[in-house]
Structure 1
């Protein structure tokens, strides 16, 4: 018989089996379908990180936009982005203008400004972002044209974009107060400008004269970007190649990518989505394969009698494996292909959720093409094929007589390979949770502890029958105390069918473990950050801004207030730390702050472990314990850092401290950080009262000192701590969204397998009734069995998550007690109980609708 004919017969047999046993394959179909949806959504996000964006606004008339590199190149990974705008030397404008084919090269600089209304209200741009000031020469890149008035010619002249002028209620000839940082000046509106295609959507613009704009930036020798106008007949792509070849250390943006030079958040969003989709998608592929394999194992287990009969009439193990493989591929293909459509919907829901969390701009659109769908189908088919092979391998090798025996009574022992692997996984997981966090440096400790949960989940999946058998023995006397038939039957069934129960319960255990591990790791980190921020702030007052930030000069004003002991300006940014061998270096992104080390201990307590933060001046740095251990740095060592705008420095470590989660992992001298931020403004100013000073009177004096600065406000220390907590909550929102997707998939898997497992027992229910059990007793038996299964799943899942949480807490806070909110844990238990009970009792009622004498004769 030819191979093609045999393949056709195997497929025909597989299809007839699927048609005859639809119920047994529905669970596998649903598992693959949902998995395909999740992978498709991750694929769409990944593709969008490369191809999507927003259209340019102020640069829409420029053929090209040239900027400085905004990311650190990585050979085999996502390029980490710089947190601040990287600028170019002003002489790059002349270099670009001399490239053949360039008609004009126009420099653009930006300065954050706020319009202060007559009633002292600070009017920002759309969605509260700062309004940006520019030189009038760059208006040609729009091109902006004045619809009223003229161009600015004097240092006190400004032109407003039409939308901003309308919101402020001003016209040509009016006077407006503009705050640059904390300093407010009065300007005369000499013109209203607009774009030919409509208004600005993502920003508000104020145009000064070029000299005035450069003066306000404080960096007359730097430019933010350079817009390029091409000569007649010169294509943008050809000109981009010519500029890249002629000018060093620049990035040329063309077409839709021009907006990435205009809006920093677009590049950051792309990097964020790329890292997120790769990391989360990879984890989900692993989880999906486990769930699909578990579901298929249960399906094969329910068909042992049928497979034994096939072996008895002459089918070889290879043929049985081929049939199951064909069934798996048919079901897997249908599920994977149909899962693409809900996957597209899921990607749209994820985008909306990220927008609500503030992680993605509202106008960032997804890019949807066939490529993510194709990738999802391929991955799901590979997963289904592998899961089907694992599930069918043992069944195909069984002798017909042994298979018939297993169909009636499960074998009492596990295979030696399975038992050996599972026994080895337990100490491996415990070692990664308890030992490695004490040995590994820095972030490796927390990563090791987190991964231990997956090892223990694998061990639980392999040891499932033994664990559930033991749980039934221990829990049944406690949960089924009433004497009677139902409790006896529930305990006997659980012992006799521990493999079936293990396959059905594994997704529930996995869901509880991952839910507890992911959620409580987050609460442990966020609680530690909040506690460290509260314990580390010693200042009596904090001065902040209602606009882009606080001008550095404000700190000097506050130092002159009577009763002030110490004033610490704080500037915030993010730094990149580079470490490891040059050929395979690694990069970590850390929250950083710039402070003045002198008298810092009066306003901020970093909980210094060794060294002295008073030495924080010049080319020095203080690192948190976690960052220092990750980088392998000790006192006196130099570390390789990239400041917010990408400027490389190699400062010497002068101190190590504990409170990095709450106050930032990297602390640098104030002037070093300030000069390399986009706005060159302070985040806040911390003020400590002198001994014996009336704190309330000091607050009044501080407010009086900054009364002439409408964007500056004086707050007590609680507001600063609340702002820190809000920032931490915003960062954790993304993790909660992803956890919701993961747990949602596991919830579907739990219901899926439990329904399939319960629905397949209709003949068992019929037999019990025929031998004398009443319907009430059968329902009571299933309720007793459900109690044991749910409680066992909660206990096993909680125990599997506990080592990971303890290890994470040790790594982050050096204490073995994680933060576990009781209500959240009770919520996990309640959801597990609800899913388990509904997924068992509802199909039980459906299976018992038919009369017992009819159901016992129905084909399985």
Structure 2
């Protein structure tokens, strides 16, 4: 039986090619994902570890917990603590580290590094081995700065050039006096790093005489643990904490690994979808192969082969095919992993150098996935073939499915579908966070149910295409009949395309609806023409509001000033606003009371009010950052959203209690409204500062939309793999169908149907099957998009379902294109059959 199985594999090389390709693509995706994420993670971890080579023990301030009505204050790392750290037994040296956001502009005035990756710090001097100089000298004074070599190369800066930058205030224009290299992960990710002398850095970052961290080097013969113990003994207990360089590197590696796991899981989900789609193709292929060899298997049973031996022979074939496909997929996956790393470089994302990581786990996973998926898909056809009595198989009496099996299948499909719809509908009434898991379960149940019911659904849906097919005469009529001749085969082929289009359509519906909701939120809740904020999300200087308020064209401004407080023993953030103008700048629907902010009156969003049991007229005591308490009255409860929420009170009440006030953003209303000229005027008034963004409502919506567009494009790209696999499935099905109907095609040719008619028949059959899968996929996608949107609507009041009719038309056209392209080779093969040879074939 083993030799027979191997002979069958070699005898049907062409028939199994599509199956090998389907498995290979899925395995390539899995192995490529593992190779890429492992390589990237390894490179980032190695690069990060190098950054801690100069640190044996790091000393940081220990955050103090909030107690009672007092907000804990983080102690400062002073110059005296630095001196004490350097004098600890076993310490060779100690460096005080200062760092923070530093917006560095390129030669066109645009921000380098995308905001969050734009960093600055202090250069300790010639003994600072963290940042080796490759050109120039150490900075001295406020007019000198160092920049990293990668930023210098990207922006075209050289020693002697003047650069524009901002930390937390006006733009300064120091001279580049040196260029250094670094293993900093932010720089590796495409950011920038600017270094000043220590005194200048402390002044710029508002940390005069203090540090963010103290890095201590151990003397020769002193271990990290011994140095840590000495520091713990010498430094104030409860105010600082110490961490070894090894632990810092391990923690950073864990953070990198954790962040990469999200990317890896996301990519593996789509790889799983491709394999799931491929499973249909494999099962379809083996079903047809077994059906074509029914008489051969019957003869084996007649001469003594047992059912187990017949099933085993089919599984051996699947094992051989799966192994070949898995090995090919692994090789292709290694290429995909290398290609993705190169692609990131071409897209501007800097990836640290490092070897391509091909782990034993990757190899084992690729081989296991390929072999196991193929054997599982082939098991049912093999088992079904083994159960057919030899006499029935020789007379082909087994071909039609029994009424009992059809009733059982349809009943199961109806139960799964009904349960899936019920669970999804129940999930739509839940909260956004609690409803995610039930909705996922319901979606899986519904997809399984529709897949089981697809043979039943194929007849009425394909019959609906009959009027159009009649236009094509005999070829169209034959195509319709061939499409429903074997409903199970048609169902398996259409389901492969259905799954891909379900996900694509669902994501498109959600993205479009979400964008509409964001646009409505920005337009309905904001009356302000502009919102001014820092590029990295940090606080603005309070001078920004003063400068904007002084402009002639500005009619109203309000800074949003966040500050922690203690209310009922819990930390609650307050939002300070200009009480006299906030009503002009926002439009927030009220649930109760009046929108009055001033003195002891505040307004509260509905969620916060509900959590505390407040309503209009309620009073509470807020303890500010300085420990003082004040009795406040809820003047009104408004409907919060993702852009504006929280407890609003007047800045004249809040600011006196703040040690270092700063604004998260400033809302601005102008006399002439939003325009390019007004925006330019505002930016110039703020010194054309690269750290500050001036955005109108459309800019805010577009910024949020960019994230969803990026995710959607990634989904389209990843799901393209599933569509490619689906195309292979249609080709495979048609090729097998043409082979099975060779005698029938020969008879059609003999009675007058020409080659063009044969080609048209096969193409129309492919088109009908693909459109059938497309209609099911788009229908399910719209349903899932609506259901997921209902979950989002519980958190976003402005969410509104938007059906992207144009894109859905494109998706249906894509399904039709899949059908046309998939039919090219099978149609040509059918048309070239010799009619006499075909008639004589069995």
TM-score (normalised: structure 1): 0.75
Aligned to 1:502: 491
Which residue number corresponds to residue 778 of structure 2? 798
Aligned residue number for residue 552 of structure 1: 542
**Mapped partners of 1:613, 1:368: distance in 2:** 60
- The answer for the alignment partner of 1:492 in structure 2 is 481
Match of 2:470, SS state, is: coil
Closer, same or farther: CA 143–323 of 1 in aligned 2, 3 Å: same
Tell whether the 8 Å contact from 2:77 to 2:212 is kept in structure 1 after alignment: no
State the match for 1:28 in structure 2. 19
Q: State the 1:482 CA deviation.
A: 3.9
String of CA shifts for 1:198-232, please: whole Å, max 9, x gaps. Answer: 9x886655544433322322245864444342322
| Helix, strand or coil at the partner of 1:778 | helix
Match of 2:425 in 1: 434
Indicate whether 1:541 and 2:518 are aligned: no
Paired residue secondary structure (1:686): strand
Aligned residue runs from structure 1 range 494-643, under 5 A: 494-543=483-532, 550-561=540-551, 566-569=556-559, 596=577, 598=579, 600-605=582-587
Counterpart for residue 641 of structure 1: none
Query: Structure 2: how far apart are the matches of 1:287 and 1:666?
Result: 44
Cα pair distance change 1:698/1:475, threshold 3 Å: closer
Which residue, out of 373, 378, 403, partners 2:363?
Answer: 373
Q: Distance in 1 between matches of 2:459 and 2:710?
A: 39
Distance 1:93 1:714, change over 3 A: closer
2:773 is the counterpart of 1:821 = no
Distance 1:616 1:42 in 2: 56
Alpha-carbon separation, structure 2, partners of 1:739 and 1:524: 17
Tell me if 1:160 matches 2:125.
no
Match of 1:711 in 2: 689
- Match of 2:666? 685
The change in CA–CA distance for 1:282 and 1:64 in structure 2 (over 3 A counts) is farther
In structure 2, distance between residues paired with 1:510 and 1:748: 11
Distance 1:545 1:423, change over 3 A: closer
Aligned to 2:685, the other structure's residue is in SS state coil
Q: Distance in 2 between matches of 1:141 and 1:236?
A: 18
Alpha-carbon deviation of 1:507? Answer: 0.8
2:337 corresponds to: 347
Q: In the alignment, which of 833, 843, 846 is matched to residue 816 of structure 2? A: 833
The answer on 1:743 being equivalent to 2:720 is: yes
C-alpha deviations, 1:612-670, integer Å up to 9, x for none?
Answer: 9978999x997797xx99xx967569xxxxxxxxxxxxxx999674642xx37889999
Aligned match of 1:395: 385
Partner of 2:287: 300
Residue 218 in 1 paired to residue 206 in 2?
A: yes
Equivalent-residue separation in structure 2 for 1:45 and 1:58 (angstroms):
21
Choose which of 765, 781, 791 in structure 2 pairs with 1:785. Answer: 765
Change (3 A) 1:794 1:274: same
Query: What is the number of residues matched between the two proteins?
Result: 775
**CA separation of 1:530/1:271 partners in 2, compared to 1, >3 Å: closer, same or farther?**
farther
What whole-Å deviation, never above 9, does each CA across 1:356-392 have from its counterpart, x for those lacking one? 778x545476852233232222233232232222343
Which secondary structure state, in structure 2, belongs to the residue aligned with residue 140 of structure 1? coil
Contact persistence 2:531–2:665 (CA under 8 A): yes
**1:326-347 deviation digits (Å, cap 9, x = unpaired):** 2211111111121012212323
- Give runs of aligned pairs for residues 148-297 of structure 1, distance below 5 A: 152=140, 156=142, 158-161=144-147, 179-184=166-171, 192=178, 194=180, 205-219=193-207, 223-233=211-221, 252-254=244-246, 257=249, 271-282=258-269, 284-285=271-272, 287-297=274-284
Query: Deviation string for 1:127-164 (max 9, x for gaps)?
Result: 88646242535971425469656663x6x463434868
Contact 2:42 2:354 in 1 (8 A): no
Q: Give how far 1:445 is off.
A: 3.7
The answer to whether the 8 Å contact 2:770/2:815 transfers is: yes
Match of residue 851 from structure 1: 834
Counterpart position of 1:755:
732
Aligned-pair distance for 1:851? 0.6
The answer on 1:14 being equivalent to 2:5 is yes
| 1:353 Cα offset (Å) | 5.6
Cα distance in structure 2, aligned partners of 1:387 and 1:443 = 36
User: Cα distance 1:790–1:57, how it changes in 2: closer, same or farther (>3 A)?
Assistant: closer
Determine whether 1:52 maps to 2:36: no
Q: Give deviations 1:796-840, integer Å, cap 9, x for gaps.
A: 222222221221222223799633333322221122111112212
Aligned to 2:278, the other structure's residue is in SS state helix
Q: Which residue matches 2:458?
A: 468
Quick check: 1:610–1:656 contact (8 Å CA) kept in 2? Answer: yes
- Aligned mates of 2:772, 2:679 — CA distance in 1: 63
Q: Distance in 1 between matches of 2:645 and 2:272?
A: 32
How far apart, in 2, do the equivalents of 1:635 and 1:361 lie? 50
Cα distance in 1 for partners of 2:508, 2:355 equals: 28
Q: State the partner residue of 2:70.
A: none
User: How many Å separate the matches in 2 of 1:665 and 1:349?
Assistant: 44
Secondary structure of 1:104 counterpart: strand
Is 1:433–1:806's contact at 8 Å kept on the other side of the alignment?
Answer: no
Which of these residues, 326, 333, 341, is aligned with residue 323 of structure 2?
A: 333
How many angstroms apart in 1 are the aligned matches of 2:156 and 2:504? 49
Q: CA deviation at 1:34?
A: 0.8
Cα separation, 2, equivalents of 1:21 and 1:792: 29
Greater shift, 102-111 or 458-467, is seen at 102-111
- Identify which range, 177-186 or 16-25, moves more after superposition: 177-186
Residue of structure 1 in register with 2:32 after alignment = 41
Match of 2:620 in 1: none
Q: Is this contact kept in 2: 1:541–1:716, CA < 8 A?
A: yes
Q: Which residue, 92, 111, 124 being the options, matches 1:136?
A: 124
Contact 1:37-1:339 within 8 A present in 2 as well: yes
Aligned partner of 1:78 in structure 2 is: none
Structure 1 residue 594: Cα displacement: 6.7
Once the 2 structures are TM-superposed, how far is the Cα of residue 18 of structure 1 from its aligned partner? 0.6
- Point out the more displaced range, 823-832 or 378-387: 378-387
Say if 2:484 and 2:490, in contact at 8 Å, map to a contact too. no
Q: Is the 8 A contact 2:113 2:191 kept in 1?
A: yes
**Under a length normalisation based on structure 2, what TM-score does the superposition of the two structures give?**
0.77
**CA–CA separation in structure 2 for the residues paired with 1:480 and 1:421:** 32
CA RMSD of aligned residues (A): 5.1
The CA distance in 1 between the partners of 2:763 and 2:638, in whole Å, is: 57
